Chains A and B, each alone.
Chain A
Amino acid sequence: MAMKSDASREPFHLSMLFNDTRYRARTIQVLAFIMLVLAAAWLVDNTVRNLAALGKDFSFGFLWATAGYDISPHAIDYSSTSTHARAALVGLLNTVIVAALACVTATILGVLAGVLRLSDNWIVARLMTAYVESFRNVPALLWIIVAAAVMSEAMPAPNAFRGENPTTSMILWDSIAITNRGIYLPVPEFSLSLGQINIGLSVLDLNSVAIFGVLAFSLLVRRGLVKHAQRLQSATGRRPATWWKSLLVCTVPMIALFYTLGFHFDYPALKGLNFSGGLQLRNSFIALWIGLSVYTGAFIAEIVRSGILAISRGQTEAAHALGLSSGRTMRLVILPQALRVIVPPLISQYLNITKNTSLGLAVGYMDLRSTLGGITINQTGRELEGMLLMMLIYVGISLIISGVMNIYNDRVRLKER
């Protein structure tokens, strides 16, 4: 009922704190702040009392104690004599590796399935619908566990590769072995090493530095070529052929480098109880990777489909009217516009993948959660500190990913009036 006029000349009285718009905002905030501080104080007080009752203190010193347990796989040097902090870092790297790989495969799967769902081909569209609906409506955890069960119960044991007449053999000219412990792949190696630099956290191999250097150089040269071609095109109207030049520029230096470094493959071979040599992708890793990829792929397919459908028919018709084929229409007209709709939800799917890597617990993958948030907490009894640190690391990863998304959003925002 009160008139909302701020120009009152009444003397100040208490009820104005609530009813006068000049003061109300401040009052509410002050009250909220007081409540918040009280709540926080209550929680901290309880925690302190509980810790005191247990006789524990609050410190992160445990991170520099010897971990004492082994982790596999470890992307950087690690042994059971390393510290808990190092163990956490190894776990974090494992999380990041599997998350990145799953993001790539899920995107490929999702884009394929999403585009094919819109295909005119009746049977393909139906198949893809079946894939999307069945994988989307069953928990990710179940897919991961199914993948692990298939890997460990349906694949042959390394024993089966042994003896005169082995029951199974390696595939692709004896280079890949699929066992119930994991998949063994050949790994590229160089007989010549340029040396190594120690950069604190890890040892940097100069060979890989050289490869990246050459790759960057090739790409730069190629960009120059394309720019030059475009200049010619705008000047003369004719575009010189660039594809073979690009191909040469991209491949020749690389091949030369590989040759000088003595490039060859290191093949896995059965030695003793297990395969050794090559690269071992463990069961747990594969199960997590495949499980997350097929599950999230189904969601990405839906995102891609709705993104494409969000572009109005008129765009397609206009492109057809210009005489573009349907493949080109997709590539040059529809997808660039659809990306604007697709990318934000796509990034949140990437966030989901990153968070869901913590389900590796079900298959024994040693990620951040099972090193820092699992064994370390258990061996040191520092639940509070360990969980807090782990949550902060996860939040940090998420914030980085959403930060990237916001930058992208700003860049592709429709420039309207």
Chain B
Amino acid sequence: MNMHNVSWVRQDLISPSARPVGQNDPMRWARKNLFNGWLSTFLTVASMMTVVWITVAIAPWLGNSIWKANSLAECRQLLGGAPGACWGVIRDRWPQLLFGFYPSNLYWRPVLAFGLLFVALAPVLFRAVPARALWFSAVYPGIAYWLIWGGSLWFPISVYLGFTVAAGLFMLTARIGRGLGVSIAILAASLWWIYAVQPVTSDVNGLVPVVLDAVASRDVGGFLLSIIIGVTGIALSLPLGILLALGRRSKLPLIHMLSVMFIEFIRGVPLITLLFTASLLLNYFLPPGTNFDLILRVVIMVTLFASAYMAEVIRGGLAALPRGQYEAAEALGLDYWKSQRLIILPQALKISIPGIVNSFIGLFKDTTLVMFIGLLDPIALAAAIRANTNWQGIYWELFIFIGAVFFVFCFSMSRYSMYLERRLKTDHR
């Protein structure tokens, strides 16, 4: 059918009509988003006033920032009575706030350890990284320890040998019975760590010395210390948390009861009391004469603390799995451990990753509490700096700096956990 000779069909294009009025007009946007009713208008005005008030209060202070000064008195002289921030304190002391009293010529070591941390975490964080990179993640703690504390490289290596010994024994004895194999492996590893590590380290080191300058724990401080405690606490609390979560969901009354008691006790007391326990009481509970580093004691306590919270996070993940998964595993004839390892835990852990990241953020913020037991976290260092005659009476600048660093760390981690939450959504809506 020829369209051109049909009279009721248009032959030419209509010119486009003008766009609707005021859809992108700022006035209209403002009316919709700022002055939508009297309450909204009131809120807008109040917010505007707040913003203006804050700006007026802070702007001159920030505007007159002084970076080049060696004491607060010098700052005040330069300012001549005007309000102004004295960032000279940060310029003067930032290495201390970041590293504590770590020897300044060795700063590359903690920085390198921090960089490698991301490499070690890569297989966990990004899908694209091959699973073989997990080997590096497993070796990383030893490397990091060696980099930060120095000493002989053979010490972390011989500690790792303990795991190898345990694994070998487990392979040999697993045929007799798995439970027996696990117990023997754990026993052997413990014996190795208690009796063999020191001699092996010193002997091998005598033959092939690989030594970095040792750094005393007392010199480790600032954000370096916060990160060390936070990262080790979370990493060590993961396996413990998994065991506790499984224990709490266990059908065996005794195991269930023990897990519940432990979790509820730890969650019921403030972290401060646990830290005081680490600094005051841990020596009571260990054989007479045992005495180890305060940082290690703190890490032990922080691990126990975090594992209780971790257990609850993972329990949430386990509870979120549909019953069908458990039933399917049983239907395949898998026993408890096999079904947990192959089917339940991989899924439950994936669900709990955002919760784990949130636990980490909480723990990282809580590391500031170690200042109460004499470790030099950033806030304790700030107190020490404020006690110095040069900087007596300064506080905003230090707190803003510390707060900003914490904010950058925690905010980026919480955004990351949100991203993960979106990415891991596998439920069918």
Contacts and interface: CB of A to CB of B under 8 A. Distances in A.
A143 to B, nearest CB: 9
Given A142-B399, A387-B277, A49 B288 contact: yes
B47 A124 contact: yes
Contact of B267 (A358, A396, A398): A398
Given A145-B399, A361-B372, A123 B269 contact: no
Interface string B258-286: 10000011011111110011001101111
Interface in A385-415: 387, 390-391, 394-399
Interface string B346-389: 00000000000000010001101101100000010000000000
A247 B228 CA distance: 60
A49 B283 CA distance: 11
A310 B258 CA distance: 35
Interface stretch (B142-150, B234-242, B401-409): B401-409
A329 to B, nearest CB: 14
A40 B272 CA distance: 24
B268 A121 contact: no
Nearest to B405: A138
B118 interface: no
B44 to A, nearest CB: 6
Contacts of B180: 18
Interface string B409-421: 1110010000000
A134 interface: yes
Given A361-B272, A391-B269, A399-B264, A127 B402 contact: no
A4 B273 contact: no
Contact of B268 (A49, A51, A116, A394): A394
B143 to A, nearest CB: 29
Contacts of B277: 387
Given A18-B177, A387-B277, A123 B48 contact: yes
B284 A47 contact: yes
A50 interface: yes
A300 to B, nearest CB: 15
Interface string A24-45: 0100110111001000000100
Contacts of B411: 133, 137
A351 B406 CA distance: 23
The prevalent SS among residues of B at the interface is helix
Interface in A217-267: none
Interface in A106-155: 116, 119-124, 127, 133-134, 136-142, 145-146, 149, 153
6 tightest CB-CB pairs across the interface, nearest first? A398-B268, A137-B410, A395-B268, A122-B33, A355-B270, A358-B270
18 contacts: A25-B251, A46-B287, A46-B288, A47-B284, A50-B284, A121-B43, A136-B414, A137-B409, A137-B410, A139-B366, A141-B371, A142-B368, A355-B271, A358-B273, A383-B281, A396-B268, A397-B268, A398-B269
Given A50-B283, A139-B406, A142-B399, 12 more contacts: A18-B178, A25-B251, A119-B43, A121-B47, A123-B44, A137-B414, A142-B402, A153-B395, A356-B270, A384-B284, A387-B277, A387-B281
Interface of A: 4, 15, 18-19, 25, 28-29, 31-33, 36, 43, 46-47, 49-51, 53, 116, 119-124, 127, 133-134, 136-142, 145-146, 149, 153, 351, 355-359, 361-362, 369, 373, 377, 383-384, 387, 390-391, 394-399
